Amino acid sequence: MKTTIFEIDVTCSSNDVEGQLESIIAQLMKISGVQSVDKTSTGASHKLLVGIAFSDADQAKTIHGKVMGKITAAKQVQVRGITTNLTDVFL
């Protein structure tokens, strides 16, 4: 199995930002292949660090789609950017 980390920058306009982010983290942890989810915050900007394990690039893309689906379905949360090390995924 290969591993990588999706670094997802989000903003949240909820009155309960911490509660909203904790809810998203709990949902992400239920996705098969997600091994860990951590968050860092700087002011109104938040970064979710989603660690995944996968067997090939197709599985990594599927997990990515599920992760993004959960985040974009959350109300008052906007994805500002996402990065990962593509070498981890495609080599």
In tens, the pLDDT along 63-82 reads 999 999 999 999 889 999 99
In tens, the pLDDT along 8-45 reads 999 998 888 899 999 999 999 999 999 999 999 988 78
Give the pTM: 0.90
Write the single-letter amino acid at 88. Answer: D
pLDDT at 87: 73
Cβ contact 51:34 at 8 Å? yes
pLDDT at 91: 67
**Architecture of the domain defined by 2-90:** 2-Layer Sandwich (3.30)
Domain boundaries, the chain: 2-90
Distance (Å, rounded) from C-alpha 91 to C-alpha 86?
8
Distance (Å, rounded) from C-alpha 24 to C-alpha 59?
21
